[in-house]
Amino acid sequence: MDPILFTSPGRIRILLVPVHPIKASTFQKHIELVKNFNVVKLGDVTPDMRGSQSMFSPALFHEGQLLFNFVTTYDADHTYLEEFQLHRRIFGVIGIMDCQEWPELTDGYRKFTGILKNYPTALTHRCFAFDPSEHQPDDTKGLIMIPTVGNMGFYMSTMICDFASTILTEFGSLVETIESKTFIESPKVPSLFSSPLTSPNGPSHRYSTPTISFTDLTSPQTPSFPLTPPSQVLTASSIGNMTAGANAKDQYHTRSFSSSTLATLSNPSSMMPTSMSDLKLKRRTPGRVQKLLADLYLLAGRLPDAVSNYYSAIETTKSNSDYLWHGAALEGLCVSLVLLAYLHADIGPQVLQAPPSPSVSQSSSAPSSPTNPKPLWADITEKYLNVITLYAKTSNSINNQVPSLIYTEACLKMSKMLTCIWLAGEWGDEALKMIVHGVMPMDKTVREKWGLSQVSGVSRVEISQWAMKGYGIFVEEMSTTEQIHVNTTLASIFSSINFQRKYAFFLRRSVFLILPLLSRSRLPLAQAGKTSIIEDDRLLGNLRQFVDIYGVGDDDEDQKGEPSEEDAQNDFGWPDIQINVLKDAIMIAESIPDFHSIAKYTSRLLRRLFVHLPREEQHRLSVSLPRIVGLAKKQDIDMQIKYWGVNIVREVQVCRPSPKEIPYPHSGKILSQSDVKKEGSDGPFIYNPFSKKSAETVQTHLVANETAYFMVLLANVYAVDLEIQSISISTEGVSFVPDVISTTIPANNSVNVKLSGVPTEDGELIIRGCKIKIYGCIEQEFFVYLPPKEEEIRKREKEDEYAKRVKKSGLAILERHRRVDSSASTGTTSSQERQHMEFLRVTVIPNQPLLKIKSTSLMHRAIMLFEGEKTEMTIALANIGKTPVDFITLSFHDSTIANAQAILSSSDIPPEEAYEMEFYAHKQSVFAWNQSDQQVNLLPGGEWMLTINVFGKRECTSGTIQIDYGYLNQEQSPNNDTFYTRQVFYPVLLTVNRNLEPLAMDLSNFKPLPDVPNNDGVQSIEHMRQIEELLRVVDASGQTLEISRLESEYCLLTFDIRNVWHVPFDVTFIVDEGASGRIVTNSTTIQPLSTSRIVLPIKRIALSEDEVTKPIPSILDKQFVVSKAPKGTAEQERLQLALFCVLSKWHYDKQPTNGRKGIIDVRSLRLNKSMLNILKVNEIEFGIEFQQSALVQKMSANRFKWAQLTCHNSTLTPMTDKGAKLSLRTQPVQTYGDGVMDYDLSGRIVWNGLLQSTLPKIEANSSITYTLPVCFLSRGDFQFLYHCEDVETRSVYFDSQPLVVEVVDRLS
Amino acid sequence: MSYYFVIVGTKDNPIYEAEFTSTGRGGSEAIRRDEHKHLNQFIVHSALDIVEELQWKSNAMYLKSIDKFNEWLISAYVTAGNIKLMLLHETKNEEGIKTFFNECHELYIKMLLNPFYEVNSPITSSAFDTRVRFVAKKYL
């Protein structure tokens, strides 16, 4: 029962003693039974045999109740208070006997009577014998058999009533004793420091023998079960009680109780009063007697009598300023009033009204009057204030000094009463019930109430003030048991009003007070090999509670197996205090000793507060953990501690394998060579926002049965080195064989560790984190999650932002965390949380082959070439893996592409230039692979030879050969599966030297020589002969050509070739005429640094209008960009297009000598407009002659000749199918040999007809002849100039050759 | 005469702690204080309950002496941001303490204006410390 109960002055203390031997559990059971009857109505009590003249006859106040306080322990410390506060006495003793243990009941009873001697203040006694067997006779006098059958409750209540009746009767004789006394002393604290006056037969020397007998009886039992009723409210207080029983052996108990304090007090020798104080005492005694009488009335349940007696006692004590007793009487009065108020609910209002009336009449000075509408509790509060002041006044007096216990208890009682009212919410029956019975509800809703309770008007601050009043320096001077009582009561009060921090404060103090007692009492127990588990559990429970309130309470980490991250929410609380509290907790756990708790608190201290701990401390704590395990092992407790700190694994990354081992995924179809080549140029757009950056997204794949490497970042936030005995990757999914290594992380440092392992099958591998065994701890899995997604981070940031705003302060924050935690740990939310947190996933692909370039034909990976040279190189591949290779593809890169690309994209070059550039960059490849049709099958260990053509491309400096290979296993797997290839790169350094360069190109018309060579001719014969030779070459090909056709079909190409190298080159020109099948070849040798002119007859090219108007295509699929260059005229464009078309049709081969072959590129030569005119086949051809004679003619004057102009439409294209409608213009001129032309020919020539005439329509590939009869009238050289104009298109056609006529006087 | 001054954040966390003694005393006094330092923290911490209760009942920021433990008195001052200024002292000196708290609040607000200072984080500024000590010397 709560030691500081408000109504304890109204309770009769009855001691329940076990009559040994009895089992603890049986005793406990019977106690519970007896305790059910702690309230006895006065009406039920058997009236006294001696009739109504007895002072305490229950008949006079039927509504009253007797309240019993059944105790199992008796605190002998307070014996000195027994005659001041009568309720502290033991009024009765009830023995509990187990008939099963006592075959002879009489013996048991004898033992009980022996026990009784220890309690001389007991007015009466009973001995209950439980569970009697049938053969045991119920003949022992004074022994009451409690049968197990029948209405046990009724039987018991009858017994208790009978017992109560006896007590009431005995009260009468007690009164007589009290009244007969002449002196009644104030109580003196029997200790040296609080009272200077210690009686010579001080309590410390008295009656040690009975004490020992008492302890002998109880001590073997007390520690093994709590002797207090199971208290729901206060675990701490029950411990306090328990300890009071447990420490019965302790020295201060030897000063113990007196067998009859009253007798002692009446012994004048013990008091030695001086005459002055003697007189004073004598004067004060009547008041004191009255107070004691009132106490007895209160105990007997005769409340009206008690009240009236208290009032008179107050009067008397006040008049002779006996402050102590005055205060005590006031206290008693308050109790009586409360009890009356409590009973009124049962008996009606008139009784309640009755008692205050005498108070008006008897004491006008009483702080409360019935007219005052104040509720009773306010009245009591005032009275108690008065009590406190009265007590405080006594502090200077010597004889009547208030014992600090009384003072403290008064404060605490008041505080408790207010707490009850606060808890109940109002002053009413509920509150009264709580006050009277001292049972506080553990309802959570009540506890969470805060602020001013509006109805009751009691504020928590008031409660706290009362409570703190009772706590002062003087408390520390009390005995340990008393201190424990005070502290636990305070703790319970603060706990009830939800002052968590104060609660924790006092709880901590109580635990500290209990601790030394506990360890002392444990010692013999530990030797006997017994441990009381319940006791430890309660203490540990307390530990948990106060540790929690200081913000270092249990968290999930203890339950969950995984060490968590440093959480940001961990900033709650006061680090200094937290460190202290945890150290206390460790100390307490050590004294128990509970190894699990020691380890728990030590690791928590390290985990939570390492920031605030100095290095030595961290070291000490971390070292102590393995020591604890060792100690636990000695005691046969198998204990394993988890790693205590924060997660040390910060990051796990899959290492990219070396470039030649990276598998590249390909989806679907077999990849062709072009597929690989196309990298970087997919899609027609310059910028494609949807295209993925291939470099970043290449995922790392692991290959089955090949060692995979992981980079693990380990961090140690502690000031001590962490020794990691083993660390390995922990995975889920496909089977994985990790390799285990060990390492050490230095203090406050991080370490990168490369871990390896082999996945043994293909599929998905989930990397959960690492399995780590730290020295002294068990192996644990440390998880590593992927960094949260974007929205997750944003959400968290938002929450953080929100958290910065202070919405709750103090412990409310803790509550919120706890709620979040609990919901997270219990419900589905946790799994959802988990889902957000994802592990790293890696795909493991099936076994892959591995190739190596074994050898190549190159030295030092370098090759030197002439420009245009073609050569071959070989690469030997070896399969060094365990899987065959059935797929190989090659792709090439060279240094020119990037350059060309850069130029193309940066500068705004004309399209024909761009075409040239692109052609150069992309169509001329440095490398080419002669892919054989043969199926690749390279078995493990086998070799394979590749032959690659190399071309000497201008300006190329380096290139790369990329070999993609894989094992497709096409027979078994369908083609559209994703497959993987690996790559081998072979870089080649190229040196390309210029050797021959073409220069100064020109084109000229080709005119066959007249059959009759003329020595006076303009052209040199020598030169003519060369051309003849050329033509012979043409002839040699087998076909004879008409001279006239030669003129129209061929033209001469001339250009220089310069040899810039220092060796001679043989150059062979092969003119491939394509469809007609004629090949013209020409060979020459060019000496170093010399230039030779090359003349080649080439076929003229007919360009149709269609071809000419097409835009210049781009070789690459490029986005069309509108030209930024200024647009030329339509004709210019046409010209450019035409030039381009011509160029694109040319192709020349050249071959250097010396066994090295190559080609010379003549594309660098550029055509101009006049060249184009020559090269192009005219649509309209002309022929002009006089009467089928030779071209250059001599004619006699003054004779008409018929000049025949033939227009031939040679176009074959359908465009001109409709025929050409032409207008022919002719102009004869006279030439004088010096280039001067005379256009005025009147009198020199006459003609019959029109010089300008429209010709009829000429069908395709047909001719029309226009005849103009001409007569020259004078001599001289004449020329006929002519041209045609298309009447529709206005395009003009010229002929290169005018008709030249030499007119002589007369032909010979 | 010694004082223990602490500023407590919203999470029961101390953001500034200081001890003032009126005049230089002997070493024994210092040792005794060191022993008491932890107790001081506990006492102030336990008084937070009462601060939380009282702060809703008064418009004033200065809550006067709110609690006592043995001979120690605890005065409290709550800012608008629920930062508690607590002073542990032995003698009653309401006016002085009130001025002291007001000055310290002023200093704290100046501290808050610092863009690099976050609410509830410990105050490490030595300037703040010096000023608080100066104020303490002046008014306590």
Residue A994 tokens, joined: 């210029």
Chain A residues near residue B57 by CB distance under 8 angstroms:
451-452, 459
- In angstroms, the separation between the Cα of residue A575 and the nearest Cα of chain B is 7
A848-862 mean pLDDT: 82
CB contact under 8 A, A809 and B67: no
Rg (CA), chain A: 62
A284-to-A183, A408, A687 alpha-carbon distances in Å: 8, 24, 111
Chain A: give the shortest CA distance to residue B113, in Å: 16
Contacts made by residues A81-84, CB under 8 angstroms, sequence distance 24+: A81/A187, A81/A403, A81/A405, A81/A406, A82/A121, A82/A257, A82/A261, A83/A184, A83/A185, A83/A187, A83/A261, A83/A262, A83/A265, A83/A292, A84/A186, A84/A187, A84/A328, A84/A406
Q: What is the mean pLDDT of residues A91-117?
A: 78
Q: How many CA atoms lie within 13 A of A465 on its CB side?
A: 13
- State the count of interchain CB pairs (< 8 A) between A and B: 96
- Which range among A209-223, A482-496, A534-548, A1159-1173 shows the weakest confidence by mean pLDDT? A209-223
Q: From B93, B90, B81, B64, select the one nearest B4 (Cα to Cα).
A: B90
All domains of chain A in start order, with CATH: 1-180+186-206+255-270 (3.40.50), 275-401 (1.25.40), 553-646 (no CATH), 651-675+697-783 (2.60.40.10), 790-829 (no CATH), 848-993 (2.60.40.10), 997-1173 (no CATH), 1178-1304 (2.60.40.10)
- What does the alpha-carbon distance between residue A986 and residue A948 come to, in Å, rounded to a whole number? 12
Banded pLDDT at A239 (limits 50, 70, 90): very low
Q: Which of A494, A505, A804 lies at the smallest CB-CB distance from B119?
A: A804
Task: Tell me whether A568 touches chain B (CB under 8 Å).
Answer: no
Local structure of A879: helix, strand or coil = strand
Pair of tokens at residue A35: 């305790």
- DSSP letters, A279-337, are HHHHHHHHHHHHHHHHHHHHHTT-HHHHHHHHHHHHHHHHHTT-HHHHHHHHHHHHHHH
The residue of chain B with its CA nearest to that of A572 is B11
pLDDT greater than 90 at residue B77: yes
Check residues A271 and A1221 and name the one with the higher pLDDT: A1221
Q: What is the mean pLDDT of residues A1103-1122?
A: 54
Quote the tokens at residue A562.
């995984």
With residue A358 as reference, give the H or E element that holds it.
Answer: helix A356-362
* pLDDT of res. A1110: 58
Domain interval for residue B98: 2-139
Q: How far is A943 from A917, CA to CA, in rounded Å?
A: 39
Would you say A1119 and A685 are in contact if contact means Cβ atoms under 8 Å apart? Answer: yes
- Quick: pLDDT tens for A875-920: 888 888 788 887 788 888 878 777 777 777 766 666 666 766 776 7
The pLDDT, as a whole number, for residue B129 is 92
CB-based contacts of A1124: which residues, under 8 Å, 6+ apart? Answer: A908
pLDDT (0 to 100) of residue A590: 79
Report which of A231, A243, A223, A230 is spatially closest to residue A511, judged by C-alpha positions: A243
Residue A266's pLDDT is 39
Q: Which three-class secondary structure state does DSSP give residue A1232?
A: coil
- pLDDT over 70 (residue A961): yes
**Do residue A809 and residue B42 have CB atoms under 8 angstroms apart?**
no
Task: Give whichever of A538-542, A606-610, A926-930, B56-60 has the largest mean pLDDT.
Answer: B56-60
Taking residues B20-49, what's their average pLDDT? Answer: 71
On the question of pLDDT at A227 being above 50, the answer is no
Residue type for A370, please?
A: P
The phi-psi region of residue A1187 (left if phi > 0; otherwise alpha if psi is between -120 and 50; otherwise beta) is left
Nearest to A461 among B12, B54, B119 (CB): B54
Question: Could you tell me if A451 lies within 8 Å of chain B, comparing CB atoms?
Answer: yes
pLDDT class of A717 with cuts at 50, 70, 90: confident
CA-based nearest distance A620→chain B, Å:
21
For residue A206, the model assigns a pLDDT of: 33
Amino acid in the structure at residue A330:
L
* Contact between chains at B49 and A464 (C-beta distance less than 8 A): yes
Contact A573 B12 (CB under 8 A): yes
User: What's the average model confidence in pLDDT over A992-1018?
Assistant: 62
Convert the pLDDT of each residue in A744-798 to its tens digit. 888 888 888 888 888 888 888 888 888 888 887 778 788 887 777 788 888 888 8
Provide the pLDDT for residue A895. Answer: 80
| Nearest Cα residue to A848 out of A802, A882, A814, A873 | A882
DSSP H or E run through A754: strand A749-759
Residue A780's nearest CA partner among A578, A675, A642 is A642
**What is the band of A663 on the pLDDT scale with cuts at 50, 70, 90?**
confident
Asked if A701 contacts A744 with a C-beta cutoff of 8 angstroms, the reply is no
Dihedral Cα B65, B68, B71, B73, nearest 10 deg:
-30
Q: What is the CATH number of the domain that holds B124?
A: 3.30.450.70
Question: What Cα–Cα distance (Å) separates residue A131 from each residue in A22, A29, A70, A86, A295?
Answer: 12, 12, 21, 35, 37
Cα–Cα distances in angstroms (integers) from residue A430 to residues A422, A444, A642, A1014, in the given order: 11, 17, 49, 151
* A778, A735 Cβ separation under 8 angstroms: no
CB A883 within 8 A of CB A940: yes
Residue with tokens 């000049």: A1203
Residues of chain B contacting A551 with CB distance shorter than 8 Å:
11-12
- Of A1200, A1204, A1276, A1205, which Cα lies nearest the Cα of A1244? A1276
Separation between Cα atoms, residue A436 and residue B35, nearest integer Å: 42
User: Mean pLDDT for chain A?
Assistant: 69
Kindly state the average pLDDT of the residues A17-29: 79
Compute chain B's Rg from CA coordinates: 14
Q: Which residue of A has its CA nearest to B118?
A: A804
In angstroms, the separation between the Cα of residue A418 and the nearest Cα of chain B is 16
Chain B residue closest in CA terms to A816: B11
Q: What is the mean pLDDT of residues A1124-1133?
A: 42
Provide the pLDDT for residue B34.
Answer: 62
pLDDT at residue number A566: 44
Mean pLDDT of A5-20: 78
The contact set of B with A (CB < 8 A) is 8, 10-14, 38, 41-43, 45-50, 52-54, 56-57, 66-71, 81-82, 118-120
Q: What is the mean pLDDT of residues A816-825?
A: 54
Q: How confident is the model at residue A109 (pLDDT cuts 50, 70, 90)?
A: confident
pLDDT at residue A1076 is higher than 60? no
The pLDDT confidence band at residue B78, using thresholds 50, 70 and 90, is very high
What local confidence, expressed as pLDDT, does residue A1308 receive? 53
Q: Which residue has the higher pLDDT, A976 or A923?
A: A923
State residue B60's pLDDT score.
87
User: Among all residues of chain B, which has the CA nearest to that of A579?
Assistant: B38
Q: Quick check: B42 and A452 CB within 8 A?
A: no
Please judge whether A571 and B46 are an interchain contact, meaning their C-beta atoms are less than 8 angstroms apart.
no
Percent of the residues in chain A that have a pLDDT greater than 70, as a whole number: 60
Q: Which residue in B49, B63, B118 has the most chain A C-beta atoms within 10 A of its own C-beta, making it the best mutation to test that interface?
A: B49
The answer to whether the beta carbons of residues A293 and A309 sit under 8 Å apart is yes
Looking at this protein, which amino acid is placed at residue A11? Answer: R
Mean pLDDT of chain B: 85
Cβ contacts of B48 on chain A, cutoff 8 Å:
501, 810
d(CA A84, CA B131): 57
The H-assigned helical ranges of A101-234 are 105-116, 152-180, 208-218
Q: Worst-scoring range by mean pLDDT, A215-224, A1172-1181, B44-53, B103-112?
A: A215-224
Please say whether the beta carbons of A1152 and A866 come within 8 A: yes
The values of phi and psi at residue A814, to 5°, are -60, -40
Burial of residue A200 (number of CB atoms within 10 Å: 0-12, 13-18, 19+) = exposed
Q: What's residue A1029's pLDDT?
A: 59
Where helices occur in A938-1092 by DSSP H, the ranges are 1021-1036, 1043-1049
Instruction: With beta carbons less than 8 A apart as the criterion, state whether A808 and A736 touch.
Output: no
Alpha-carbon distance of B49 to A1036, in angstroms, equals: 121
Q: Quick one: which H or E segment has residue A519? A: helix A500-527
CB contact burial A1216-1235 (16+ within 10 A = b; e otherwise): beeebebebebebbbbeeee
What is the mean pLDDT of the segment spanning A1262-1267? 74
Q: Does A610 touch chain B (CB under 8 A)?
A: no
Report the sign of the C-alpha dihedral through residues B69, B72, B73, B74, in that order: negative
Closest among A797, A765, A772 to A647, alpha carbons compared: A772
Asked if pLDDT for residue A991 goes beyond 80, the answer is yes
Indicate the number of domains in chain B. Answer: 1
CA distance A572 to chain B (A): 5
Distance CA A1019, CA A74 (A): 153
User: Residue A1179: which pLDDT band, with cuts at 50, 70 and 90?
Assistant: low
Nearest chain A Cα distance for residue B66, angstroms: 9
Structure tokens at A417: 């009463």
CA distances (Å), A77 to each of A72, A733, A920, in order? 15, 70, 113
pLDDT of residue A977: 64
Phi, psi (deg, nearest 5) at residue B5: -115, 135
* Nearby residues of A388 by Cβ (< 8 Å), 6 or more positions away: A327, A407, A410, A411, A469
Substitution target from B8, B35, B52 for chain A, most A beta carbons within 10 A: B52
pLDDT at residue A200, as a whole number: 36
Residue-level pLDDT at A73:
73
Reported as a pLDDT band with limits 50, 70 and 90, residue B7 is very high
Residue B130: band (very low, low, confident or very high) from pLDDT cuts 50, 70, 90: very high
> Which member of A504, A574, A810 has the closest CB to residue B14?
A574
pTM (whole model) above 0.90 = no
CA distance B126 to chain A (A): 20
Judged on CB neighbours under 10 Å (0-12, 13-18, 19+), A997 is middle
- Write out chain A residues lying below 8 Å of B50, CB-based: 460-461, 464, 499, 502
Residues of A with CB below 8 A from B63's CB? none
Band the pLDDT of A523: cuts 50, 70, 90: low
pLDDT digits (tens, 9 = 90+) for A582-631: 888 888 877 777 777 788 888 888 877 777 888 888 888 888 887 888 88
What does residue B3 show for φ and ψ, rounded to 5 degrees? -125, 150
Angle between the N-to-C axes of helices A595-609 and A575-591, in degrees from 0 to 180, rounded to the nearest 10:
160
Highest mean predicted confidence (pLDDT) among A351-355, A1185-1189, B51-55: B51-55
Check CB contact under 8 Å for A471 and B70: yes
Long-range contacts (CB closer than 8 Å, 24 or more residues apart) made by A1237-1240: A1237/A1279
Residue of B nearest to A472 (CA): B70
Q: What's phi and psi for A404, nearest 5 deg? A: -60, -30
Asked whether the beta carbons of residue A494 and residue B49 sit closer than 8 angstroms, the reply is yes
B107 pLDDT exceeds 90? yes
Going by pLDDT thresholds of 50, 70 and 90, the confidence category of residue A514 is: confident
Question: B48 and A810 in contact (C-beta within 8 Å)?
Answer: yes
Residue in A254, A242, A251 with CA at minimum distance from that of residue A522: A242
Tell me whether residues A809 and B13 touch, CB distance under 8 A.
no
Phi, psi of A1109 (to 5 degrees): -90, -10
A580 close contact with B: CB closer than 8 A: yes
Any chain B CB within 8 A of the CB of A927? Answer: no
